[in-house]
Structure formats: C-alpha cells, structure tokens
Amino acid sequence: MSESQEGTIRCADCRFCRQFKEVNGATGRYVLKVRCARGGWQVGRKLGHTDWHRLMTRRVRKCPDYDSMSDNERDRARYLCDLAATLPLERIVYEADGEPADIFEIHGIDLSTE
C-alpha cells in the first residue's frame, strides 16, 4: 500500500478519474462531470459521479483501484494544489459549441428595463 493510501485518497489524483460531459438532449447544453472509470464511486446499481467543480471534495479512505498519476508525494501535492486553484468555483453550463451559456437565459431571468 502506498503512502497515499494510508491517509485520505483524493480521487482527483487517480488515473481512473475521468471527466465527461453530461448533455441535455433537448438543448444540447452540457456540464462537466467526473467519475471513476473502474466503478469505484458506484452507489447501489448506479455509477456515481460528481460535478467537475466539486472534484477536490471527492476522497476515500482506501480504494483497491487507486493508482496515483504522480511520481511522488511532492508532485502529488503540487498537482492537487494547482488543480484546486484552477477548478471553477461553481457549476458552469456550456453551450453545444463549448462556450459558457448565459446564466440569466438558463434561469429565465429578464434584465431588460422596460
């Protein structure tokens, strides 16, 4: 067992942590999510996943499939720190072309001053 597994494992550093798009079929808009490619986040019969912006909150005490992408603990800590600094603070909805969607349009907020 590696040093990482003796404490808390951050799933973001595992090579089986995968990003995917959850697409709304009606609008084509999507949000970024992450899941374990090995099914480690499975809840009952459903495969678990979490929003991309919440990736750093996903951690476990031990995982038989954990395989760190980092060469050592120093690199791991640096990677996780950089990732935490670059993740968005909230969920971002994207248009089909990859551009962030207008949040006011999504929620039906009219800002016109008539």
The answer, yes or no, to whether residue 33 has pLDDT greater than 80, is yes
| Both structure tokens of 78 | 């640096």
H-helix or E-strand spanning residue 34: strand 30-36
Give the pLDDT mean for 89-99: 92
Q: In angstroms, rounded to a whole number, what is the distance separating the alpha carbons of residues 17 and 34?
A: 7
Q: For Cα atoms 74, 16, 34, give the angle at the middle one, nearest 5 degrees.
A: 100
Please compute the mean of the pLDDT values over residues 21-38 and round it to a whole number: 94
Amino acid at the residue 65:
D
- Is 32 among the domain residues? yes
Cα distance between residue 79 and residue 67, in whole Å: 15
Q: Is the pLDDT of residue 78 over 70?
A: yes
For residue 114, the model assigns a pLDDT of: 52
Lookup result for tokens 């590696």:
2
65 is a domain residue: yes
Distance in angstroms (rounded) separating the CA atoms of residues 23 and 39: 20
Lowest mean pLDDT, pick from 12-21, 41-50, 68-77, 93-102: 41-50
Across the chain, mean pLDDT equals 87
Q: Is residue 31 part of a domain?
A: yes
Structural domain range at position 23: 3-105
Task: Give 41's pLDDT tier (boundaries 50, 70, 90).
Answer: confident
Share of the chain above pLDDT 90, in %: 61
Residue 111 falls inside a structural domain? no
Predicted confidence band at 109 (pLDDT cuts at 50, 70, 90)? confident
The reply to whether 12 falls in a domain is: yes
Does 112 reside within a domain? no
Is residue 114 one of the residues assigned to a domain?
no
Mean pLDDT of 11-28: 94
Total structural domains in the chain? Answer: 1
